[in-house]
A and B are shown apart, each in its own frame.
Chain A
């Protein structure tokens, strides 16, 4: 998988039907209902209707986790933080406001 596609969705994810999944992920938490309906149809056609439930569950789960993480102000665990310097820089993650919850402990 190409992680850069997660922040630059015009890039290839390297995953089958990755473009369809990126479009669905963006639409499910976006404000354009017509775009969501189109993305749901495209996902069902590409990977089957059960995949719509799965992708919705994953998007819902991380909508939860992002709020728990930012709301409680947790830092990234050392086991993940150490060794991901280049990836964080490449993806621009250090510029996120929530990065402060990790960097304030350094």
Chain B
């Protein structure tokens, strides 16, 4: 059954498939978190949005995690989900003080950002938030690219080629801006970030083609009005 079959608003197949794939990813072990840990993180993020009045609680929220997150980690998740403008280096340091490695922190930022993304979309087209799938057994891969180095972000990232080596060429092509490289310390989350970007914003090879329209009914300047207004409300300097 199509992922948004209950929507009165038409949804492109590739967009629905990209979103369904993200929900499936949440239910599997990640690079650093088990499936039940990842479910606990996205559940906390969604609840923060509900508590802030930014989301409506669904009748069927789906699977529930039995993992109890530490209070300081919950606070970090809630800040990023519901008040991203307040997230700063001090919040990152709280995460490190709570025992998260840089790579674990990056995976947490990734999946919180992704579930906010998916929930905002559902709210936008007027359907209930999608239920979480049952977490699957399995162990995190714990693979960290040795090419990731501390550049100018809080956490290490893989530099653009040539400094980033062969893995950078494979992941980025000739160049990626920082926003796309931000999660590169966890390559699986980098790839998920890229997949959403291409389905939702613009195909990256077309990013400088301002005559290309990725969304039916919207020109590129109209797309930029929505993008720019959302980022302004979130006080995002980037």
**Chain A residues in the interface with B (C-beta under 8 A):** 1, 3, 5-7, 9, 13, 15-18, 21-22, 24-26, 28-31, 33, 36-37, 40, 44, 47-77, 79-80, 91, 93-94, 96-102, 104-105
Contacts and interface: CB of A to CB of B under 8 A. Distances in A.
A68 B200 contact: no
Given A72-B106, A73-B154, A55 B218 contact: yes
Contact of A105 (B56, B112, B152): B152
Given A18-B222, A26-B229, A37-B126, A67 B238 contact: no
Q: Is the interface of B mostly helix, strand, loop or mixed?
A: helix
Contact of A17 (B113, B125, B222, B230): B222
A67 B84 CA distance: 6
Closest 6 CB pairs of A and B: A54-B215, A56-B124, A51-B217, A31-B53, A73-B154, A71-B109
Contacts of A68: 109-110, 113, 179, 182-183, 193
A48 B110 CA distance: 32
Contacts of A6: 225, 228-229, 232
Given A58-B226, A59-B230, A67 B112 contact: yes
Nearest to A75: B152
Given A47-B217, A102-B237, A60 B112 contact: no
Contacts of A18: 222, 225
A36 B214 CA distance: 23
Interface stretch (B8-16, B30-38, B61-69): B8-16
Nearest to A105: B152
A16 to B, nearest CB: 7
B85 A54 contact: no
B152 A58 contact: no
B224 interface: yes
Q: Which of B86, B214, B233 is most buried by chain A, counting CB atoms within 10 A of its CB?
A: B233
B182 A15 contact: no
Contacts of B219: 15-16
Contact of A25 (B56, B109, B196, B225): B225
A100 B86 CA distance: 12
Contact of B153 (A37, A58, A59, A74): A74
Interface of B: 8-12, 15, 52-54, 56, 80-81, 84-89, 92, 106, 109-110, 112-114, 116-118, 120-121, 123-126, 152-155, 157, 177-179, 182-183, 193, 196-197, 199-201, 214-219, 221-238
A29 B118 CA distance: 12
Contacts of B120: 28-29, 56, 59-60, 63
A61 B238 CA distance: 14
Nearest to A31: B53
B222 A16 contact: yes
Identify which of A13, A29, A59, A68 gathers the most chain B CB atoms within 10 Å of its CB: A68
Contact of A1 (B15, B56, B92, B224): B224
A37 B125 CA distance: 9
A102 B155 CA distance: 14
A24 B217 CA distance: 15
A72 B222 CA distance: 28
